[in-house]
């Protein structure tokens, strides 16, 4: 079992006789690890960076009148924007001051499409 795994990882033909002290090429193993890293970057790291960039652009572009949703699921309309916080009107005269990092979504565009 170990010999089969070794021959697969080292790229040696399966029918080649295993000789004592014979070293296989490390190139297939390096290529395999590089491929794994590439796949992880393409499917995990890159989309996460793109999503984070869009979220940062959304938070920096907030303005009075935008309708937003907080991380906790509270819907409101922005009344005042400061450097790190926003004041949102939740219902009637109820206003909440929340950190910009707590805002995740702008739902004013979704209402306009309906």
pLDDT at res. 99: 94
Average pLDDT over residues 57-73: 92
pLDDT at res. 26: 87
CA 100 vs CA 66, 75, 85, 91, 93: distances in Å? 13, 14, 5, 19, 21
User: Are both 6 and 54 inside the same structural domain?
Assistant: yes
* Range(s) of the domain holding residue 101: 63-113
CATH code, domain carrying 76: 2.30.30.100
Integer-rounded Cα radius of gyration of the chain: 27
User: Are both 10 and 53 inside the same structural domain?
Assistant: yes
pLDDT beyond 60 at 16: no
User: Are both 74 and 29 inside the same structural domain?
Assistant: no
């Amino acid at each position: 079992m170990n010999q089969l795994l070794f021959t697969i990882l080292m790229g040696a033909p399966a029918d080649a006789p295993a000789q004592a002290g014979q070293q296989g090429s490390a190139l297939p193993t390096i290529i395999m690890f590089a491929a794994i890293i590439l796949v992880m970057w393409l499917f995990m790291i890159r989309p996460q960076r793109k999503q984070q960039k869009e979220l940062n652009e959304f938070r920096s572009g907030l303005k009075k009148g935008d309708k937003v949703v907080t991380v906790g699921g509270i819907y409101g309309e922005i009344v005042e924007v400061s450097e790190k916080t926003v004041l949102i009107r939740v219902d009637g005269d109820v206003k909440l001051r929340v950190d910009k990092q707590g805002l995740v979504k702008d739902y004013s565009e979704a209402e306009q499409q309906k």
